Structure 1
Amino acid sequence: MLIGEYSHNIDPKGRMIFPARLRDDLGVRFVVTKSLGDACLAAYSYEEWNLLAEKIKGLPMSKARPFQRILFAGAVECEPDKQGRILLPAALREYAGLEKDVVVVGASNHAEIWDKSRWDAECAKLDSDDIAGIMDELGF
């Protein structure tokens, strides 16, 4: 399970250190693509990526086609170098608004790469009443 929050920087060449704890769960190589519904990037292990692909294939073609285009067209295979860095192509950085300061978060079955200011804004949306309501729904 991918968990935790890690702050990193993107260098001028578009490289960033991907957190070691998340790399351990994602594997030696993993896929990074556009996130659906959020202005961030999503990183999937090949196992999770294949599960997602199969689920999308199971949708009616009229629904599957837009998801396939978004997810697969921009997807890149990442293999961290010896320093643990991955290269994020310019198109993906632009999609997620990534410039320098980023936050990488574990999100259960995948990791997300956020622009720090967008992540802070996303976190500010939830207040203690929202969290309490969700916890109540979950039976905690």
Structure 2
Amino acid sequence: MGKPYFRGQSIHRLDAKGRLRIPTKFREVLQNHYTDALVITRMGECLLAYPPEEWEKIENKAREFSQVQPEHRAFMRYFISSAEECEFDNQGRILIPPFLREEANLTQDVLLAGVLTNFEIWNKSTWDAHIKLDKDSYQKIMEFMAGTGL
């Protein structure tokens, strides 16, 4: 069955109601290794989609955060409070809540990028702009990653 990782990219179209079809290869990871649902939250200019079991690990760590530490409170307000559990309809689509669609500027063309234990949901144009920037600094990124032992 392979490792429970989300890999690769897939371009899809958001329908008028804000529903997004999740690619078969990502659904198979969910169905074979996790609960067949997603928890979606915001991160910068994209959304992050987690299997519920991976999201629970984040919540368990976040529960240990200090209530008085400003960075912890900011993380909880920004990242945790925007999380929404999304279930699949019988056509393999999820409904992305309007405030999350707006946050990531999701209109029609959407790119999903697998990043191991979760995947990112991007406005395709925003993704293209980020990839161009990343290509411009690719050598520096690779040097940094080499320093991590990768």
Figure out how many residues of one structure are paired with residues of the other and give that number.
138
Residue 88 in structure 1 maps to residue 96 in structure 2: yes
- Residue identity over aligned pairs, in percent, reads 38
Residue 106 in structure 1 maps to residue 114 in structure 2: yes
Write out per-residue CA displacement over residues 41-74 of structure 1, whole angstroms, 9 at most, x where no aligned residue.
Answer: 1111111111101111222222322222223332
Aligned partners of 1:93 and 1:105: how far apart in 2?
16
1:83 Cα deviation from its structure 2 partner = 1.6
TM-score, normalising length: structure 1? 0.87
Structure 1 outlier segments of 4+, above 6 Å: none
Unaligned runs of 5+ in 2: none
Residue 23 in structure 1 maps to residue 33 in structure 2: no
Residue 44 in structure 1 maps to residue 50 in structure 2: yes
After superposition, the CA RMSD in angstroms is: 1.8
Unaligned runs of 5+ in 1: none
Does structure 2 retain, via aligned residues, the 8 Å contact 1:33–1:72? yes
Moved more, 125-134 or 110-119: 125-134
Aligned partners of 1:129 and 1:7: how far apart in 2?
27
Residue 77 in structure 1 maps to residue 81 in structure 2: no
Give the letter for the 1:101 counterpart. Answer: D
Partner of 1:119: 127
TM-score, normalising length: structure 2? 0.82
Write out per-residue CA displacement over residues 62-107 of structure 1, whole angstroms, 9 at most, x where no aligned residue.
Answer: 2322222223332221111122111111100000011100100111
